[in-house]
Structure 1
Amino acid sequence: MTTESQTNKQRMQAIFAELAQGNGRPFIDAMADDFCWILPGRTAWSRRYEGKQVVRDELFRPLFAQFADRYTNQATRFIAEGDMVVVECRGQVNTKKGLPYNNTYCYVCRFEGGKLRELMEYLDTQLVDAVLDAPA
């Protein structure tokens, strides 16, 4: 494993150590200003979110507004090569409608210059449609 791979893997491990406690701030801080979050699929949430502020305003804000308690996400595996880190993880939270939103994810993350530049998120899209309201 290259030094770049090790460094990027350690960055993601530190981010997920905080996410497991419900602290998403290090994840946001790691994003470059031109960061892109991609949600493939056919849900109302599926699209490219281009730019850190767009991710915060159009993905995180409407998503987290539906949660009744603190969202946590526990990583189960990290795989790193070059500028890429793949994270397998499981999120857990209850919605304000009283439904559990416990999803399993695979994040394919690309770093550049020590910052997150892109994240492709694979998840249970059927659960998204069943539990979450569409973003406004």
Structure 2
Amino acid sequence: MSEKNKAILEKGNAAIAEGNNEGLLSFCADDTEWTFVGDKTLKGKEAVRQYMATTYIEPPKFTVTNLIAEGDFVTALGDITLKDEDGKAVHHSYCDVWRFRGDKIVELRAFVIKTEVKDETSSAA
């Protein structure tokens, strides 16, 4: 089950990267609940759809550095860049904990922290 859930999340992430929000939503249960810890909770697939329509002005650019699956859970650790309403790129680090019921995503607990992009050309003094 763990590897199957991991594969589902990878397909959903690929869809989002292509700007296909419905691709990820097709893997979500109608009663899915997404909690952005310290910010907001979205209840139901339609609430998630509306959130994605306003937040993913352009498809986000993200990197998953670790994808860990156990039982009904898949945890993704990585970095994501989103454009804000002014078109400015905003960088975040995240840890998403996804819970599955059967083949459907029923819960997300997202821990997202705004971060600065490190300049690889500068050196510490």
Q: 2:46 aligns with which of 53, 61, 76?
A: 53
The structure in which a higher percent of residues are helix is 1
Do the aligned residues in 1 keep the contact of 2:91 with 2:114 (CA within 8 Å)? Answer: no
Partner of 1:40: 37
How far off its partner does 1:110 sit?
0.2
Counterpart CA distance in 1 for 2:78 and 2:23 is: 16
Helix, strand or coil for the counterpart of 1:102? strand
Among candidates 55, 64, 83, match of residue 63 of structure 1: 55
TM-score in terms of structure 2 length:
0.79
Establish whether residue 122 from structure 1 lines up as the match of residue 101 from structure 2. no
Unaligned 5+ segments in structure 1 are 128-136
Identity %: 28
C-alpha distance in 1 between matches for 2:12 and 2:42: 20
Matches within 5 A, 1:41-120: 41=38, 46-57=39-50, 59-64=51-56, 67=57, 69-120=58-109
| Shift, 1:56, TM fit | 1.8
8 Å contact from structure 1 (residues 19, 74) kept in 2: no
Work out whether residues 92 and 114 of structure 2, in 8 Å CA contact, stay in contact via their aligned partners in 1: no
Cα distance change of structure 1 residues 6 and 117 upon mapping to structure 2, 3 Å threshold: same
Which residue of structure 1 aligns with residue 4 of structure 2?
A: 7
Q: Residue 93 of structure 2 contacts residue 115 of structure 2 at CA under 8 Å; is this kept in 1?
A: no
Between Structure 1 and Structure 2, how many residues are aligned?
A: 116
Q: Structure 2 unaligned runs (5+)?
A: 117-125
Question: Normalising to structure 1: TM-score of the pair?
Answer: 0.73
Structure 1 Cα separation of the partners of residues 48 and 59 of structure 2: 19
Flag the 1:55–1:91 CA change in 2: closer, same or farther, 3 A.
same
Structure that is richer in strand per residue: 2
